[in-house]
Structure 1
Amino acid sequence: MGYTSRNNRRPFEAASKASHHHIINDPEVQAVMEHIYKPPQNDGLSIDDLIEDFNPPENNPVEAIIAIDGGYTEVTLDKGFPSRTMHFSQFGALLFKSEDLEEINTAAFIDPEDMARLKNIHRLKLALPTRNVRFQDESTLQGTVLKSIFEFFSKNKLEEKHSLIDTLAWFIFRRYKQGNRNESEKRWNLATNPLSDEGDQVTLLEQNMNRDFTFSCPETGGKIYLTDIFRFQEILNEETGAAGILGYLVNTIEHLIIIHIIRQLLNLQPEKLRKVLFIKDGSTGFFGQTAFLHDPMNDLVNWLLDKYNILLVGLEKSGAFVDHAHEIQNKLQPGQALILTDDYIYRYILPGGGDPNRPYASTSNYGHKVIFKTRKGQMHVISLPVRELKKSPTAFDLPNLQVLLSNVENLHCDMYDSALFPVALVNKLVSLSAHPSQRILQKFANQNAK
């Protein structure tokens, strides 16, 4: 990497424009390239056995749509110390009624007042120190980050009675089952104790949880936060910082917002759950250090399917599956859905061979992926929660498939490729742009940080 010039007193060290031939002519590099395997493109692709025709139901049960999205941006606290950073995040849960959207779709012009009806949004904000900064009452960056996350969950309620941290306990200890829980569901095995010098595991018993959702560390007597179950302490580093956890953290918070809203509906109007469609930006899964949360999520999905036939879909906007969907769009007829099996995924999309004994992404996902071409020709990659992951899923393994496809088609938005209107709108309302949002937040941080 080249040198930079801090005060413009010395020239910037540009990269060499002639060094590439050393790489191209190197025998070892050439040998590596000869071993590279890329999944074949769509030549000779056979998908007939995996296609499900779209048959929209006569009666759409969905009366309301709730879309969840989040975004974040990095801010440098000191111009002379560019590695001193914070990240600001914003999350939104947008609610609108299906009838409002139908009225706007049939209108010749969109009135600002009509749009205002759709912008019934709850925003949550998180300021997270990520490198070379800490709280005044914490001695390390790790302690600062873990405390920031815990306080965010403890203080945010989405204008409801309970906080997100209360919902997290309700979720992981399966409190929704009430008297039907077994003993294993009343404890959580934390693989890495953040207060242990050796990083030993610790079992968190629900009965030992304090009223502030903390546990006493058996080694130090200090506080273990309930949010430490995310295990970010395993990848936090005092020198490289905490920026690497942001993607996993955002995905986890988006999921917890969905779970929080589901919980409130269960408390107030449980039958309304049958008429609400939840749309999450991204796949239906937990990743990185948080991947183990897919187990309690799968339990919750099964319970909700049994009780209320929950409607939930994840919308993927980028990545290998989206790239592949656009590559094969000429192979699908309008109104067809391609249900992806393990064999198909590893043959045409991902270079891995897969586990012969376990379905694709069984340690992180709780849903299967479907490529859907609407009757108007738009391509979507969606993830649908299932009762159990299978290596070769069929339409019978995907609950509410036709209902979900129907709503995806109805909610299509032409603003962007593969966009759904609720997700595009909530993204507009919570995303933080590089300019001017980032610069304004930078000035705000510099003025307020001590």
Structure 2
Amino acid sequence: MTPRHSFRSLSTLLLATLASAQDTIDVLSFGHKNPLAVDGKKIPGYKSQAVNHEIRVLSDRITLTPPYPGNAKGALWSDAKTHSSDWTATLEFRASGQEVGSGNLQLWYTKDPTQVETHSVYNVEKFDGLVLVVDQYGGTGGKIRGFLNDGSQNYRGQSALESLAFGHCDYHYRNLGRPSKLTVSSSQSGLDVKIDDKTCFSTATVALPEGYHFGITASTGESNPDSIEIYKFLVNSKLSQHEQKMKNPPAQAGDKKPTPGTTPRKMDAFPGIVELIPDREAKEFKSQTEQFSDLHDRLQAMSHHIAYVFGEIKTLAESSETQHKESLAKNTEVLDAVKNMKGSKETGLPPDTIRQIRELSEKVDKLEASMALVSKSLDDDHFGKLFKQIEMMHFDVMPAQMKHALQTHTPSLGKLALLLVGTQVVLAAAYVVYKRRKNSTPKKFL
């Protein structure tokens, strides 16, 4: 194989690898960037809910349910939806507790998170989507099961919930001392579930739609609760058909002439892809063909970026022109309104405003005249005489009233003397009577 063919084969393999690679969706993922939360409380892109405790967000993990108290619930729900049905979700978790623990973990892919909130698969009612359950069902020490619902089944009212599982596998997940990795992949070929990079179950009859939310819920029992910690949740999505067409447009039979009045677009779907051309030393190029190929690729990448810059400049220019026209239209309306105001040349005010000012001025003048008349009347002799008469009446009436009050309410001196003399006479008479009775009483001798 010649070096030229080797270079082409390597390039083809590199392009195929990039085409099949999956991109991490940041709005649906957490744990791949440190720290988990900027403020130490809220995880970007996710809403948290808890019952009987408060979810703890540490630098490298999230405590969804604590080891104490029991009957605790925790949930994380994504704000954004998926925009592709071809995705892979990876959940890294750890469950630890006493020898006989109680707890369960669910990974949801549902249409409406409000139907689930903090519920588990055992007490949720109706939901539309997929749920993977990790618990100790069946006394096997651990089991992973998958359930589907189109919104018609009420899981809370099911007497035999295990019969609704479409796939399962045994997995001892408690007290491992390390995080476990649960991976679920959805594509046109079906659904595949793995645990620690080993196949748990798969099916080709399940096709999940796009536009759903991811969620993680956990709950514990009253006794021996488990501590369930989430370390990482990544959602990767393959390129959609539209994006692949943008990156690899179909070859055309011949060059078409551009339509008059339009800009020709011969560059491959700018501003789409980010082209990575590794640097190479000049001695690596053995022929002019390789040199020309490398130069062509670099010029093409540069043309893409220049076209993107021009496109952005054009967009900004159009936006600026639109804003300028809107500003001119508003200014024109203001100028027209000012011109329609036919006021006086001296003030520039409208006639109605001038008329109102004149009426107000006339009212003020009348009020000043009335006040002056009242002030003059107060200074007249008639009012002065009237004031003097009122003053004399006060001086005449007040002494007479005081004299009458003293005569009426003050006790008489003669009456007081008569009362004292009468009291003395009564006392003297009583004393005389007492002496006479005492003398007339017969004496007793011993």
Give the TM-score normalised by the residue count of structure 2: 0.21
TM-score (norm 1): 0.21
Q: Which structure has the higher relative contact order (CA within 8 Å, separation 6+)?
A: 1
